[in-house]
Structure 1
Amino acid sequence: MQSSDIQTEFSTSLSSTSKSVTDVQGLAEDKKNEKIDKSSIAENLTQSRVVTRESTIRAGQDKDSREPDEDDSNASVCQDDIAASPHTLLTFWQKCTMVALLTSCGFWSSLGSPIYYPALKQLEKVFDVDEELVNVTVVVYLAFQGIAPIISGGLADTYGRRPFIIGGMLVYVVASIGIACCHSYGAIVALRCLQSIGISPIIAINSGVAGDFTVKSERGTFVGAVSGFTLLGQAFGSLIGAALTAAYDWRAIFWFLTIGCGSCMAVNIVLLPETKRTLVGNLSIKPKRMINRAVITYLPSVQKRLKYDNPDYDTLDATKMRSNPLSALKILAHPEITLSLLPAGLQFALWTLMLTSLSSKLSEAPYNYSLTIVGICYLPAGISGFIGSFITGRVIDIYYKRAIRRFKEKKEQGLISPDAKFNTLRSRLYTSIPQNFLAVVAFTLFGWSVDRGWNISAPLITSAFGSFCAMSTLSSSSTLLVDLYPSQSSTATSCYNFIRCSLSAILMACLAKMNKSLTIGGTFTLISGFVFIGNFVTLIPMMYGMTWREKRALKAEREAMFN
């Protein structure tokens, strides 16, 4: 074979080999691209599922929620996943049943303080103590109402809601039995502390439970209903206490609390499910620990209804919660939270003083009413408080939906940036402004009406308006905190508990001396003035709160990248 032929054949072979290598490389590249496409599709599908849940951006302990009904660029993708995996398996009427169960737990917390007011005069005589000492038993209860949820709320966000609700009720029952049987003033003070430590966190935990099975568009209604029904105990407590004290004696009050709370505890052991989304998702995932399981969930029909055989794992909140007793204080340190809650806390403290003053002033001249009549005088405050919480819950839901719709329209019209974030703080706080200013007028007039001995209709009407406003603001504040911290809802709502109960305890401790120096009319006018100023302070977080939160989130992301 000639050299030229050999060269030609070698070139042909080399060209063929090169082409084969190229083909192999092309096939490999195609396979690689196909894998990348599949990975991208899987990643996008995962991301689309994540946005269907209440996800959070961690900034220290600061978290913002993203929910299906909030403005979202992936809204069209979300709808398919929402249809496949509902946010909760509870129907509307089952959610209403949950409200009833939660109310039956938290009601005893709000009842524990006012039911005791009519018995204070008896305790002074029985234990031979003066008014200031007997008021200590009220103050310590209020103080621990603010402190205990700070710790228990964080634990409930980590280990589940149900164990701390049932455990708290058990502590309350045991402490109530102890008070009913004790014969020492010191023992009463200690057991009142234990009572409060057990039951007071339930109010904050209840808001967390309501946040677990609701989305933002309906949250105001259910969180408002839970808060309002729960705090009816504070409005009607003195009526019940007056009736029991008049018919029997002060010990009957604590036997009533024992029997009532014990019965509700038994019902909730059977019926109340665990709702923490890091543990059970939309309720379709069976809790690992027995203490988190309701007795009713052992029934095959209930297990089938909850889809235990085919759980929706995509609804499981993947946020890792760490038990930190200081979490609530870190949330409270954020300026938008403090500025939003301080005016609301002052208003609640005024409401507490109003309920206390009704009991003491109506039993004195010029009214001189019996215990039974004084108890009946609490009815207007109780009824209007219930109406306030229920109506406000509906109003803030309606306004929220309208605000979301307008926000989307402005984006479509190009009036705001496509990257703009919805102002949750403004949408929730805006609805509380009218009643916040109405409260200033109502509480001021109440103070002067009982101070000057006006016709009984004046204190009753003003107390009704004051209760309406206080419960409305409570609903707005609780809903706001659950919205901002969906994965830490119990911890977040314990912040409001801390502020309102701490302010109530401080003002209760100072009430007698303030009344002597300023008269009761002057006392209510002074504190109402603080509320009036605080109402304008609330405008600051409405305007700048979301900007502050975004800056903290960006700062946390930068720190996470370098660590």
Structure 2
Amino acid sequence: MEDKQEITVVIEKDVSVVVPPDLPEESKRPSEMSGDTIITITEANAVSKESADTPPVEEIPPRFTVYEPWQKRLIVLSAAFSALFASWTAQIYLPALNIAAADLHVSTTRINLTVTSYMILQGVTPIFIGGFADNAGRRPAYLVCFLLYIVANVGLAKSDSYGSLIGLRCFQSATISATQALCQGVVADIATSAERGQYTAFIAVPVTLGPSLGPVIGGAIAQYLGWRSIFWFLAACAFANLLVLIFLFPETCRKVVGDGSILPRKRNQTVMQLIRNRRRKKDASDTESNTATPIETTESSPKVNFAWSKFLTSLVLLCEKELSLLFLYGGFVFAGVYAVATAVPTLFSEIYGFDGFKVGLIYLPMAVGSIFSVALVGKGMNWNYRRHARKLGVEVDRTRQMDLIDFPIERARIEVAIPPLILSMVVITAWGWALENQVSVAVVCVLVFLLGLGLVSTTSVFNALIADVRPGKTGAASAANNIIKFLLGAAMAAAIDPLIRAVKPGKAYAIIAVLYVLLSPCLYLVVKRGMRWRKELREKEGEDTRQ
């Protein structure tokens, strides 16, 4: 009997085996003889030991985004400036309250309701816009917000009654308050966890710059041009920003453009993209007329399956264990900013005899402190992320997003938050006692600077961690965070003056510091159980998807 040649064909999973077309049909069947050849088709795990011991080729994850670092900085800065309008609008109006009350012939108590109503809607309305932006895109949400915001400011500038003023202030808040949540979503779209620290610190600046610069600008405008001119100023600034968004700000939502390489629908494209694509189509049509092969010039974006139930995503996120603890503690930290900012006009006019313009200048050291926090906490978060990665033997690539399911991201972030948090506790206590003892204004300004540095740094870390925990729903998670943050801020703004009257500034601000300490177990639980909660959540969502 003649010796037969045996050929083993190894079939890897998801790999096709191509059989030459001239091979007889009988030879294409596994383990059957055809002439002098035996073809044996087997699976990869049944191959010889030498093949089994061959190490698999490690797949390199794709780049997280197509944008270069300088492009990402410009995008984040544009989003941060857009977010500035939300906090700016709330505070720029404060120096004009007494003037507006006299002009409209209402009491100071009634005119203060225009501030309270603004803050309440500032916390509630982003839950709707956040869910929409996570599915339909950031650009449509931004454009709609700023268009309606301009309309609201024009109406406020022409307002001649108390009813129209409070109604339009509510509408103004509803239109612009979502921009802070949108800004968080933009950072999550284009920045990996390894580099998110520096960008998240940028977007924390508007939260403090608004309360710091708003009263100074608003006071000067109200004094020289009248309180209605404040809203003309806001409308003009919003219109300029809207033009930048229309012409230059790209769509970043990963459900719409992926890593940025997918061309979105026209409604999500910038004017520059539309012009560039029209030129490409024209060049393609000219080329097609000279060649037989048509040229495809653009990619069509996947259809966005948007459901109205997505509006409620933020409410669902409020019930998640890890996020709820972060929202609660971060909200109290943020409320400390309002505890200081709200009491400044009354305390400094009573203790130091400052007028409205000088009171506005007191906010500037806090703005400077927040700017310093950008450099410090951003680098700190990135450094600590790399440190934990080295301990786990994981190589950090800033251009690619690492799966954080087995990475202690909670510990890596909160370790950075502890020093500025302790600083905030000490300084806010010292701030109260300094005012009670009427120390030099220079000392108070230094304390305000340190307070801005500590509180904004801590808030930046929490914002980054929220984006890391819920990367696919950052817009909705940020909106849910705003619900707690601004409601607690509104409560603190309402409670701080009665508290100061009852126990004086020293004890009042010491109570706030004690609250920070009493609620600190929230952070311990997040560090200790956060990774397990994330794994349970992913398993649950995987089961829901399979069903």
- TM beyond 0.5: yes
Q: How far apart, in 2, do the equivalents of 1:487 and 1:23 lie?
A: 50
Q: How far apart, in 1, do the equivalents of 2:318 and 2:278 lie?
A: 40
1:74 Cα deviation from its structure 2 partner: 9.5
For residue 107 of structure 2, what is the aligned residue in structure 1?
A: 130
| 8 Å CA contact retained: 1:113, 1:138 | yes
Q: How far apart, in 2, do the equivalents of 1:244 and 1:432 lie?
A: 38
Secondary structure in structure 1 of the residue aligned to 2:385: helix
For residue 407 of structure 2, what is the aligned residue in structure 1?
A: 422
Instruction: Supply the AA of the counterpart residue of 1:535.
Output: S
115-124 vs 377-386, which moves further = 115-124
The number of residue pairs the alignment matches comes to 487
| 8 Å CA contact retained: 1:220, 1:394 | yes
**Structure 1 residues 46-103: Cα deviation after superposition (integer angstroms, max 9, x where no partner):** xxxxxxxxxxxxxxxxxxxxxxxxxxx9994125xx3xxx322221111121123212
**Structure 1 residues 295-353: Cα deviation after superposition (integer angstroms, max 9, x where no partner):** 0112338988xxx967799xx99997755222112212112112223222111111022
| 8 Å CA contact retained: 1:228, 1:390 | no
Q: How does 1:40-79 map to 2 (within 5 A)?
A: 76-79=58-61
| 8 Å CA contact retained: 2:423, 2:454 | yes
For residue 324 of structure 1, what is the aligned residue in structure 2?
A: 310
Secondary structure in structure 2 of the residue aligned to 1:210: helix
Closer, same or farther: CA 240–28 of 1 in aligned 2, 3 Å: farther
Secondary structure in structure 2 of the residue aligned to 1:287: coil
- Please list every run of 5 or more consecutive structure 1 residues that lacks an aligned counterpart in the other structure: 1-19, 38-72, 411-418
Q: How far apart, in 2, do the equivalents of 1:190 and 1:139 lie?
A: 12
For residue 375 of structure 1, what is the aligned residue in structure 2?
A: 360
Q: How far apart, in 2, do the equivalents of 1:133 and 1:556 lie?
A: 48
Asked whether 1:401 is paired with 2:405, we answer no
| 8 Å CA contact retained: 2:76, 2:186 | no
1:128 Cα deviation from its structure 2 partner: 3.5
| 8 Å CA contact retained: 2:373, 2:456 | yes
Secondary structure in structure 2 of the residue aligned to 1:112: helix
Instruction: Supply the AA of the counterpart residue of 1:435.
Output: P
One of 347, 356, 359 as aligned partner of 2:342: 356
Q: How does 1:511-526 map to 2 (within 5 A)?
A: 511-526=496-511
For residue 433 of structure 2, what is the aligned residue in structure 1?
A: 448
TM-score between the two structures when normalised by the length of structure 2: 0.82
Closer, same or farther: CA 109–558 of 1 in aligned 2, 3 Å: closer
Closer, same or farther: CA 26–493 of 1 in aligned 2, 3 Å: same
| 8 Å CA contact retained: 2:326, 2:466 | no
Q: How far apart, in 1, do the equivalents of 2:75 and 2:311 lie?
A: 27
For residue 295 of structure 1, what is the aligned residue in structure 2?
A: 271
Q: How far apart, in 2, do the equivalents of 1:487 and 1:499 lie?
A: 20
Q: How does 1:18-57 map to 2 (within 5 A)?
A: 25-26=29-30, 33=41
Asked whether 1:337 is paired with 2:323, we answer yes
| 8 Å CA contact retained: 1:446, 1:458 | no
Closer, same or farther: CA 23–182 of 1 in aligned 2, 3 Å: closer
Q: How far apart, in 1, do the equivalents of 2:516 and 2:302 lie?
A: 38
C-alpha RMSD of matched pairs (Å): 3.1
1:485 Cα deviation from its structure 2 partner: 1.7
Closer, same or farther: CA 420–472 of 1 in aligned 2, 3 Å: closer
Instruction: Supply the AA of the counterpart residue of 2:271.
Output: V
One of 249, 255, 261 as aligned partner of 2:238: 261
Q: How far apart, in 2, do the equivalents of 1:366 and 1:557 lie?
A: 60
Instruction: Supply the AA of the counterpart residue of 1:241.
Output: G
Q: How does 1:112-127 map to 2 (within 5 A)?
A: 112-127=89-104
Asked whether 1:226 is paired with 2:206, we answer no
Secondary structure in structure 1 of the residue aligned to 2:59: helix
Closer, same or farther: CA 152–559 of 1 in aligned 2, 3 Å: closer
Secondary structure in structure 2 of the residue aligned to 1:333: coil
Q: How far apart, in 1, do the equivalents of 2:82 and 2:170 lie?
A: 18
Asked whether 1:549 is paired with 2:534, we answer yes
For residue 59 of structure 1, what is the aligned residue in structure 2?
A: none
Closer, same or farther: CA 295–559 of 1 in aligned 2, 3 Å: closer
Q: How does 1:75-224 map to 2 (within 5 A)?
A: 76-79=58-61, 82=62, 86-224=63-201
For residue 290 of structure 2, what is the aligned residue in structure 1?
A: none
**Structure 1 residues 135-183: Cα deviation after superposition (integer angstroms, max 9, x where no partner):** 2111111111111111110110011001111111111111111111111
Closer, same or farther: CA 271–382 of 1 in aligned 2, 3 Å: same
Asked whether 1:460 is paired with 2:442, we answer no
TM-score between the two structures when normalised by the length of structure 1: 0.79
Instruction: Supply the AA of the counterpart residue of 1:358.
Output: V
1:517 Cα deviation from its structure 2 partner: 2.5
Asked whether 1:482 is paired with 2:467, we answer yes
Secondary structure in structure 2 of the residue aligned to 1:196: helix
| 8 Å CA contact retained: 2:338, 2:492 | no
Closer, same or farther: CA 171–21 of 1 in aligned 2, 3 Å: closer
Identity of aligned residues (%): 26
Secondary structure in structure 2 of the residue aligned to 1:78: coil
Closer, same or farther: CA 115–559 of 1 in aligned 2, 3 Å: closer
For residue 284 of structure 2, what is the aligned residue in structure 1?
A: none
Closer, same or farther: CA 366–523 of 1 in aligned 2, 3 Å: closer
Q: How far apart, in 2, do the equivalents of 1:558 and 1:168 lie?
A: 36
Q: How far apart, in 2, do the equivalents of 1:147 and 1:74 lie?
A: 51
Q: How far apart, in 2, do the equivalents of 1:407 and 1:303 lie?
A: 50
For residue 517 of structure 2, what is the aligned residue in structure 1?
A: 532
1:291 Cα deviation from its structure 2 partner: 2.2
| 8 Å CA contact retained: 2:150, 2:235 | yes
Q: How far apart, in 1, do the equivalents of 2:40 and 2:268 lie?
A: 46
Q: How does 1:480-519 map to 2 (within 5 A)?
A: 480-519=465-504
For residue 43 of structure 1, what is the aligned residue in structure 2?
A: none
Secondary structure in structure 2 of the residue aligned to 1:387: helix
**Structure 1 residues 480-526: Cα deviation after superposition (integer angstroms, max 9, x where no partner):** 12112222111111122111111011222333333332334333222
Q: How far apart, in 1, do the equivalents of 2:481 and 2:93 lie?
A: 23
Instruction: Supply the AA of the counterpart residue of 1:519.
Output: K
1:560 Cα deviation from its structure 2 partner: 5.7
Secondary structure in structure 2 of the residue aligned to 1:183: coil
Closer, same or farther: CA 260–408 of 1 in aligned 2, 3 Å: same
For residue 49 of structure 1, what is the aligned residue in structure 2?
A: none
1:33 Cα deviation from its structure 2 partner: 4.9
211-220 vs 126-135, which moves further = 126-135
Secondary structure in structure 2 of the residue aligned to 1:369: coil
Instruction: Supply the AA of the counterpart residue of 1:294.
Output: T
Secondary structure in structure 1 of the residue aligned to 2:260: coil
Instruction: Supply the AA of the counterpart residue of 2:354.
Output: Y
Instruction: Supply the AA of the counterpart residue of 2:328.
Output: L
Structure having the higher helix fraction is 1
1:205 Cα deviation from its structure 2 partner: 0.7
1:538 Cα deviation from its structure 2 partner: 0.8
| 8 Å CA contact retained: 1:103, 1:230 | no
Instruction: Supply the AA of the counterpart residue of 2:222.
Output: T
